[in-house]
Each structure stands twice: as C-alpha cells, then as structure tokens.
Amino acid sequence: MDSFGEYLKKERELRGITLDEISKYSNISKTYLKYLESDDFENLPADVFVRGFIRCYAQNTGMDGNEAILAYNSFIENKRDSQVFSDISTEKSTKFDIKISYFWAIAIFIVLSSFLLVLINFSKDREEKQPFVSDEKFSQGVDEIDVEESKNNIGITLGSNTTEEESVIESEDMEIQPQREGILEKIPSPSPLTEIEGTSEIIEGTLETSERTLETSEVTDILTLTMEATEDAWIGLEIDGAEKKEALLRKGETSRWKAKEKFVVILGNVAGTHLKLNEKDIVMPETSSNVIKDFSITLDNINLPQ
C-alpha cells in the first residue's frame, strides 16, 4: 500500500460522506482528519490516539474497523522498512564515498612521491655530469698562460735586439767604408773572419742575456707556496692583495697555492706546519701563541743556503 490516507479517502468518497460529517459525529477535529488522509502522522498525537481516530473514522463511514487497523499496520511496517533501507543505502553510500576519498588521497600521494623522486634523481645526474674545476687548477692554468706570454715577449725582444745589433754593425761598416778608401795605406782592412767572429760574439752574448732574463722571470713572476701539515692546522691566505682563500689541512696533507708577488698568511698551529716557497724553506717568526697573523711571504722569505 503506497498511501494509507488515500485508502481512507477513497473509501469515504465511495460512500459519499464528508469530513465535516465524520468530525461532527466522532468529535475528531477536521484538521486531524485531514492529517490522517494525507499521511501526515508527524502532526498527529501519539500512535494510540491515531488508532482510535482510525476506528472512529471507519465506524462513521461504514468500514470494518479491524480491517482499517490492519491496513494501517501494514502501511507503517512498509514505511519503516523503506526508512531502514534508505538509511542503509545512505550509510553504504557514505562509506563508499569515504573509501573513494581514501583511494584518491593515496593515489595523489603516490604520484607526488614518484614525481619528487624523479626530480631528485634528475638533479643528481646533472650535478654528476657537470665538470668541476678547482680554484687551484684554474689558478695554475692562468699562471701557465702568463709564463707562455712572458716567453713570447722575451723571444720578440731577443729578435729585435739581434736586428738592432746587425743594423749597428752595418751602419758602422758604411761609415768606415769611405775612410778605408782614403787611408788604405795607414789602416789595414779587417779580415772577413774577424768581422764574423765579432758579430757571433755579440749575438751569443745577447742570447745568454735573454736566457738569464727568462730564467729570472720564471722564478720571480711565479710564487708557489707549499704547506705540509705534520698536525691538523688552519691557514688563511690573501694572494696578491686581492684573492682570499682558507684551508683546513689534516695531519699528513699537503696543499699548494700560486701568486705573482706575495702572500699574506694567517696560520694556526705554527708548530704543526712546514711552509716552503718555490721549494725553499721559509723561516717562520717565533711566537708564544703558536699563531701567526698577517705574515707576508715574498722571495725575501726563502731560506737561501749560506
């Protein structure tokens, strides 16, 4: 039965009885009778009164009261079953929605985690592929370029000096030539062998001077500071008044730095270090604190043999 109220209304209308008549003879409010025919049980009194209203309604319309009560009971049970089924469906739907939400949350978490792992691995691969050039190697490369340029400049100077010597010799020969023609009897002409020997001596002397200049340039233009740690020690460097570096050497480690003019050193644990400049020992000043600050190192610091 879809509607108990429609069932009552249909039986009443078949008999041609109005709600006013039922209300008059049963002393039931017409409003309650309307609620009864519209299945609005929430606005009606307790169930025991509703059953009394149904019996009076059946009695005043000529219906069987017991049959009307049975129809009411059947309607209420169906309504309760529908409500329970609806509640169960709603609960299942809610649980399903919660499971779906958990599933999506886990799926999103897995996707984000995978993306982060891929990104981290990609970053590590890029860092491993990038070549690393240390400051020391870069400095050595620059110093080597400077040495090559110095050698080239010396070679150009050597060539120009030789050319100038030859020009001087030629000009002297040109000045002496007229005099030779006029006073051949007084001054004997020099032999070709003597002229060649003199010229070769000048060229050899120029070459020796240039080689000594090159050797001096290689020594004075590049300073190599070597630090050997016999104990753990710290060093701070200022190279040529511009570049600054720091290093912590463990026992047994060795490190080198290059400069053109000088180093300014701050050294911790002087007793645990051994400094050399261009492979020559450096005489370190005495200190009671075992720490040296602002110590300048140039070629003057090389401990030359006596």
Q: Which is higher by pLDDT, 219 or 20? A: 20
Q: Are residues 141 and 262 in the same domain?
A: no
Q: How far apart are CA 236 and CA 253, in angstroms?
A: 16
Q: Are residues 199 and 269 in the same domain?
A: no
- Which among 104, 130, 156 is the end of a domain? 130
Q: Are residues 207 and 240 in the same domain?
A: no
Q: Which is higher by pLDDT, 55 or 305? A: 55
Give the Cα-Cα-Cα angle 15, 17, 22 (nearest 5 degrees): 130
Q: Are residues 191 and 247 in the same domain?
A: no
Residue 96 lies in a domain: yes
Q: Are residues 241 and 276 in the same domain?
A: yes
pLDDT digits over 249-305, tens only?
999 999 999 998 899 989 888 888 989 999 988 888 888 778 888 889 888 876 544
Q: Are residues 107 and 174 in the same domain?
A: no
Residue 238 lies in a domain: yes
What's the domain count of the chain?
3
**What pLDDT is attached to residue 214?**
46
Residue 306 lies in a domain: no
pLDDT at 81 over 70: yes
What is the rounded average pLDDT for all residues in the chain?
Answer: 76
pLDDT at 111 over 70: yes
- Which among 199, 220, 241 is the end of a domain? 220
**What pLDDT is attached to residue 239?**
94
Q: How far apart are CA 20 and CA 10, in angstroms?
A: 16
Q: How far apart are CA 112 and CA 110, in angstroms?
A: 6
* Domain range for 22: 1-130
Residue 74 lies in a domain: yes
Q: Are residues 167 and 148 in the same domain?
A: yes
Q: Are residues 144 and 235 in the same domain?
A: no
Q: Are residues 290 and 188 in the same domain?
A: no
Q: Which is higher by pLDDT, 95 or 65? A: 65
Q: Are residues 147 and 181 in the same domain?
A: yes
**What pLDDT is attached to residue 141?**
55
Q: How confident is the model at residue 95 (pLDDT cuts 50, 70, 90)?
A: low
- Cut 0.75: pTM above it: no
Which stretches of the chain are DSSP H helices? 4-14, 19-26, 30-37, 47-61, 65-129, 135-182, 192-220
**What pLDDT is attached to residue 168?**
39
Q: Are residues 163 and 287 in the same domain?
A: no
Give the Cα-Cα-Cα angle 214, 218, 221 (nearest 5 degrees): 120
Mean pLDDT along residues 114-132 = 78
Give the Cα-Cα-Cα angle 232, 233, 238 (nearest 5 degrees): 155
- Which among 196, 220, 244 is the end of a domain? 220
Q: Which is higher by pLDDT, 283 or 43? A: 43
Q: How far apart are CA 296 and CA 298, in angstroms?
A: 7
**What pLDDT is attached to residue 261?**
87
Q: In a 3-state reduction of DSSP, which class is residue 300?
A: helix
Q: Are residues 118 and 29 in the same domain?
A: yes
Q: How confident is the model at residue 140 (pLDDT cuts 50, 70, 90)?
A: low
pLDDT digits over 206-264, tens only?
556 555 544 444 444 588 989 899 999 889 999 998 899 999 999 999 999 999 889 99
Q: Which is higher by pLDDT, 290 or 43? A: 43
**What pLDDT is attached to residue 30?**
93
Among 305, 246, 295, which Cα is nearest to 275's? Answer: 295
Q: How confident is the model at residue 101 (pLDDT cuts 50, 70, 90)?
A: confident
Q: How many CA within 13 A on the CB side of residue 142? A: 11
pLDDT at 153 over 80: no
Q: How many CA within 13 A on the CB side of residue 176? A: 11
For residue 76, give the CATH number of its domain: 1.10.260.40
Residue 83 lies in a domain: yes
pLDDT at 73 over 90: yes
**What pLDDT is attached to residue 231?**
93
pLDDT at 10 over 80: yes
pLDDT at 40 over 90: yes
**What pLDDT is attached to residue 8?**
93
